[in-house]
Amino acid sequence: MKRQLRFVARYKAVLRPRLNAKEARMVEGGLEPSHRGTCLHLLSKIDRGTILSALDREPLKSDLPVRARFLATAAGISGDVGILLHFLEALSQTAGNEQTTRAFTRALDRIDFAELSAARMGRLLDVMQRAFPEPELVGGLFGLLRNPGFLAAFDASASDLDPAVAARFVPLRAVHRAMGGHGERGPGRPSDGRDLARGLPMVLSVPASMLEAFSLAVRERLLDAALRSGSDKALGHPGIEVLLRSLPPDGDASARHGMALARSRLARGEVDEARKVLKGSLKGPAAADARLLLDRIAGTIAGPLALDEPGLEPAGSVQPGFHLRWVRPVWLRFAASTGRQRFEAELDLQAGACLPGVAGVVDRGSAKGKGAFAVLDVSGQRLDQRLADGELELGYDAAVALAASGLCILRALALAGLALPDADARRFMIPAPQAWRHLVLADLSGVVELGAPQAALHVQAQAGAWCHAALCYPPFEGKRLRRELPRGLRDALVEAAEQGADPAVLAQRLMG
């Protein structure tokens, strides 16, 4: 009490309290503070209004060190949260971080967060970001968010915070929610995705020792949130690898997150970084998947593609590749640099035709040093490779289905006024091992626009050659000759094709 009386005496000129004679003698030191009621009555006159009025007077108004010393005691006498915030604000502008942080931590015990308005919450957070060093701010906020009263007050005032304060703390709150803080589950607010993308780099930037100090469950959830965020800043942040290395190396979580991180690195074009992550997964549960993906990206990297060098010849044929951005195997067509203009014209025809049984073009571009490329909307195996494996033997039904499927595709080309120079098996894809009825034409190199009548005549000649190859000769029949196909039917079909029969009619005859 004597200390508080000395405070009133020292700042009497700016406080201007209305004291009675007995109170004045106590302040001046002529009377001992021995009666509790008298002391409380005196201190009640140093209320919020009196203190705020004093802050508007000199020297407290402009002398920050004097203002901070004054508020250090005034905040204790008043007990008002607003005065406490004034003290913390003055201290943050005059004292070192360590002193301010200690005062901030002690002040938290005196705040009833249920009574905290949005304006005062904003001031508290503003002081906090000035009081705490950058690495400790995240831990300080997460510690506060464990207090149910603070958590409720923060969420209630988040939409009314000053934009500068909200930009710092609302994203951190979104990360805390994504980590399952305070037992929370689910997606949270609609804006959490945007806030999460901003908050994750803040959290990932704290020292590795702080990241590793989180519980295992929190580290897993934080890593999962970062990998699912789609944020370039989060996905490219080195803190992700700190979290991954902190997980038990032989656990399922390490395997799952390791593969997800490798795929995200590939999608960002960071092939070398992806290889490092995959090599770290070779001894865990995901070893087989990691090895497969390493093999996929072992060849030449050309833009968004991983290429297998032996597969680039001959130019124009359909070749396997791996699309880094999509992180999946694809089929490609290439063109040498000298034939790029012609290649682009062919792709325009292929993309614009939209014909049944003709593979679409889903991506195109340039592969460094390899000319132009196109990514085709097709899966499976190239027909010539499937038939040349040395063990395939087509029965009658399969041979007929194969011939009919090819004829229908040639017919579609003719109706569109397009013609190919040949109907070689290397142009076709078989989407599944036994899907002979569902061939896909993938390679349109050399395609020309002739108009429907001329294209029909051109395709009729090809239809005969196709039937002859499909039904009579290697490589379609495998090691042994087929005996099921009656020679008369075979000869009639071939003759009809060579005489210009409509491919659709030939297909009907075959299926009959």
Print pLDDT tens along the chain (512 aa). 888 888 888 888 888 888 888 888 888 888 888 888 888 888 888 888 888 888 888 888 888 888 877 877 777 677 677 777 777 777 777 766 566 666 676 777 777 888 788 888 888 888 777 777 776 778 778 877 888 888 888 999 988 888 888 888 899 999 888 887 655 544 445 456 788 888 999 999 888 888 888 888 888 888 888 888 878 888 888 888 899 888 888 888 888 888 888 888 888 888 888 888 888 888 778 888 888 888 888 877 877 888 765 444 445 578 888 888 888 888 988 876 567 788 888 888 888 778 888 998 888 887 766 677 888 888 888 888 887 765 566 676 777 778 888 888 888 888 888 888 888 888 899 988 778 788 999 988 888 888 878 887 787 778 777 876 776 544 454 444 444 456 666 666 666 655 656 666 766 666 55
Q: Checking DSSP bridges between strand 305-307 and strand 328-335, what pairing results, if any?
A: unpaired
Number of domains in the chain: 4
With beta carbons less than 8 A apart as the criterion, state whether 506 and 497 touch.
Answer: yes
Q: Other CB atoms closer than 10 Å to residue 368's CB: what's the count?
A: 10
Q: Let me know whether 506 and 397 are in one domain.
A: yes
Q: Let me know whether 389 and 484 are in one domain.
A: yes
Q: Which residue has the tokens 């309290």?
A: 17
DSSP code for 249: T
Q: Which value, in Å, is the radius of gyration of the alpha carbons in the chain?
A: 39
DSSP code for 359: P
Helix axis angle, 81-94 to 48-55, nearest 10°: 30
Q: Which of 46, 68, 83 is the C-terminal boundary of a domain?
A: 46
Q: Let me know whether 418 and 452 are in one domain.
A: yes
Q: Let me know whether 465 and 361 are in one domain.
A: no
Confidence (pLDDT) at 490? 62
Confidence (pLDDT) at 473? 47
Range 168-171 contact pairs with CB under 8 angstroms and sequence separation of 24 or more: 168/125, 168/129, 168/202, 169/125, 169/129, 169/141, 170/195, 170/199, 171/195, 171/196, 171/197, 171/198, 171/199, 171/200, 171/202
Please report whether residue 141 resides in a domain: no
Tokens in use for 274?
A: 């992806």
Q: Let me know whether 483 and 421 are in one domain.
A: yes
Q: What are the residues whose beta carbons fall under 8 Å from the beta carbon of 284, sequence distance 6 or more? A: 249, 250, 251, 254, 255, 258
- The strand pairing partners of 428, in sequence order, are 441
Q: Let me know whether 403 and 481 are in one domain.
A: yes
Q: Which of 322, 344, 377 is the C-terminal boundary of a domain?
A: 377
Q: What pTM value is reported for the model?
A: 0.64
Provide the residue range defining the domain that includes 392. Answer: 381-511
Please report whether residue 177 resides in a domain: no
Please report whether residue 500 resides in a domain: yes
Indicate the residue type of 300: T
- For 333, the enclosing helix (H) or strand (E) is strand 328-335
Tokens in use for 329?
A: 């195997």
Separation of CA 402 from chain center: 43
What's the CATH number where 416 sits?
Answer: 1.10.510.10
Query: Rounded CA gap, 66 and 72, in Å?
Result: 10
Query: Rounded CA gap, 27 and 12, in Å?
Result: 9
- In angstroms, what CA-CA distances link 4 with 90, 191, 489? 20, 49, 116
Tokens in use for 226?
A: 């970062």
Indicate the residue type of 407: L
Q: Other CB atoms closer than 10 Å to residue 98's CB: what's the count?
A: 10
With beta carbons less than 8 A apart as the criterion, state whether 278 and 294 touch.
Answer: yes
Q: Other CB atoms closer than 10 Å to residue 83's CB: what's the count?
A: 20
- Phi/psi for 500 (5° steps) reads 95, 20
Q: What are the residues whose beta carbons fall under 8 Å from the beta carbon of 349, sequence distance 6 or more? A: 418, 444, 447, 449
Please report whether residue 323 resides in a domain: yes
Q: Which of 377, 397, 419 is the C-terminal boundary of a domain?
A: 377
With beta carbons less than 8 A apart as the criterion, state whether 406 and 466 touch.
Answer: yes
Confidence (pLDDT) at 474? 47
Q: Let me know whether 345 and 415 are in one domain.
A: no
Indicate left, alpha or beta for 237 from its phi (over 0: left) and psi (-120 to 50: alpha): beta
501: closest CA among 473, 470, 461, 454? 461
Q: Let me know whether 317 and 342 are in one domain.
A: yes
- In angstroms, what CA-CA distances link 386 with 72, 370, 400, 426, 441? 84, 26, 17, 10, 15
Asked if the bond preceding 329 is cis, omega within 30° of 0, the reply is no
With beta carbons less than 8 A apart as the criterion, state whether 503 and 458 touch.
Answer: no
Query: Rounded CA gap, 345 and 415, in Å?
Result: 19
Tokens in use for 481?
A: 């000759």
Query: Rounded CA gap, 355 and 271, in Å?
Result: 36
Q: Let me know whether 348 and 395 are in one domain.
A: no
Please report whether residue 408 resides in a domain: yes
Please report whether residue 497 resides in a domain: yes
Please report whether residue 82 resides in a domain: no
Q: Let me know whether 462 and 416 are in one domain.
A: yes
Q: Let me know whether 282 and 331 are in one domain.
A: no
Tokens in use for 415?
A: 């109706």
Please report whether residue 269 resides in a domain: yes
340: closest CA among 308, 314, 371? 371
Q: Let me know whether 420 and 352 are in one domain.
A: no
